[in-house]
Amino acid sequence: MRPLLYLSVTLITLAAFENLAVTAVMPVIARELDGVALYPLAMGLPLATHVAATSVAALWVDARSVRWPIVSGVGLFSAGLILAGVADNILLLSLGRGVSGLGTGLIVVSLYAAVGSIVPPERRPGFFAAFSAAWVIPGLVGPMLAGYIAQLFSWRWVFLAVGIPCLLVLPFVNGFLARATKGSTAREINRDEIARRAKRTLLPALGVAIGVAVAQTSSASRTTLPFVALALVMVFALLPTLLPKGTFTLRPGVGPVVLSRMLANGVLIAVEAYFLLYLQSERGWDPGPAGLVVTIGSVTWALGSFVQTRMLDTGTRIRAARTGAVLVTIGALFALTITIDRLPAWIPIAGWALAGFGMGLMYSIMAVLALEYTPKERHGEISGSLQIADSAGAAIGLSLFGAVMVGFAGTSVNPFMAGFAMMAGFALLSVISVGRVPNLTGPDLTPDDANR
């Protein structure tokens, strides 16, 4: 089992580094490639393609095995990073990032399935704990390291230094998985069931990915802003088919749990991306020091995540999640003050540290509650819903922030301030959503009720 553990942790660590490191250097990339207008596309396209890949991986793993989805995921992840590393324009770079997003979607879902199919039940908690720990080091050193790589060498090496080694070890990954899955049999699924699942999840997931990509592309120009609205209408029309019933109506149950994560993650990713852009483009910060903001947020997130592990009863967890949502809202409001140039930068950065702590509290708690409120035979489905909600929320947040930036450009209103204010509003919605999460320790609601 150790080789599988080492492989899994390595792949997740590389994916985490790419995710967190690119956030720190994307402002530099956007300026160098003359693509600031397409900043939301470059940041958000991997999230959109991740949504589609999640549904594909779920079908592929159930119909075959984990081997080929993981091998294909590593290949796409590597190819996407190399393409981004050699890109000479922002569209090609965005395409490369989109391809890498497909790869990470295939990898993450398949690794979770591999633990379920290969690892003995008594060892699975250790695997999942290692998966979470794999984000810690990239969060601590990734943003600053990427920033200094961009300063001292070139931002291209942030992509190539990960993509090239991944491509070189692909044959070894394939060989190991061939041995690890030898003799295991995939669950029997008939063609009719595959077709039903594809109709219910695959096509809507592809539609969401396309809609988000259109919204991100259309936010580059004021003349195309109406297409942002049309694309997001399509996204919100399709998302209910991929998420639990009651997600957008806030019906007490698992729906508000999923919506809370979707809103909070959208706020966190969008605010962090444009916070770094403001520091570098308006306040003249270098990528290395700017990456420290991501590191601080990652440290406080890890601290919040650790604190929530000490909470054993559902009522305490719900109260902590509500506190976390409030802290994310406060952090978004503090981020807005970065646009007040006479204020020292440490004030909004301190506020952002609060947001990281709040997200650390609520993020894991929402996952625990989602599993608690869902029958065991549907744990795979709810896990996929949480991943889709995370990716869709972040992609939508970036699209809306980009649209606001273009819409308010050249007006008396600071576009960054308008964007941060909008995100604070969405954070407030997450507070309301968490408030609708029920305590199922009471006598009036059962896990089955929560999912109807």
**pTM of the model as a whole:** 0.78
The CA distance from 211 to 38, in Å, is: 16
The CA distance from 260 to 222, in Å, is: 31
Q: Could you give the C-alpha distances from 445 to 85, 315, 382, 386, 448, in angstroms and in order?
A: 52, 14, 19, 22, 8
Tokens of 407: 């819409």
What is the chain's pLDDT, residue by residue, as a tens digit (452 residues)? 677 788 888 888 888 888 888 888 888 898 899 888 788 788 878 888 888 888 788 777 777 778 888 999 999 999 999 999 999 999 999 999 999 999 998 888 788 777 766 777 667 656 766 776 777 778 778 888 888 888 888 999 999 999 998 888 888 888 888 887 675 554 555 567 667 777 777 888 888 888 888 887 777 778 888 888 899 999 999 999 888 888 998 887 888 999 999 999 999 999 998 998 899 888 888 877 888 888 888 888 878 887 887 777 788 888 999 999 999 999 999 999 999 988 898 999 999 999 999 998 888 788 778 877 877 656 667 777 888 888 889 889 988 998 899 888 888 889 999 999 999 999 999 999 998 887 655 433 444 444 44
Domains of the chain: 1-188 (1.20.1250.20), 246-452 (1.20.1250.20)
The CA distance from 29 to 93, in Å, is: 9
First-residue to last-residue Cα distance in the chain: 38
Q: Could you give the C-alpha distances from 40 to 111, 156, 187, 336, in angstroms and in order?
A: 29, 19, 40, 18
At 6-44, the pLDDT tens digits run 888 888 888 888 888 888 888 889 889 988 878 878 887
Query: Which residue type occupies 61?
Result: V
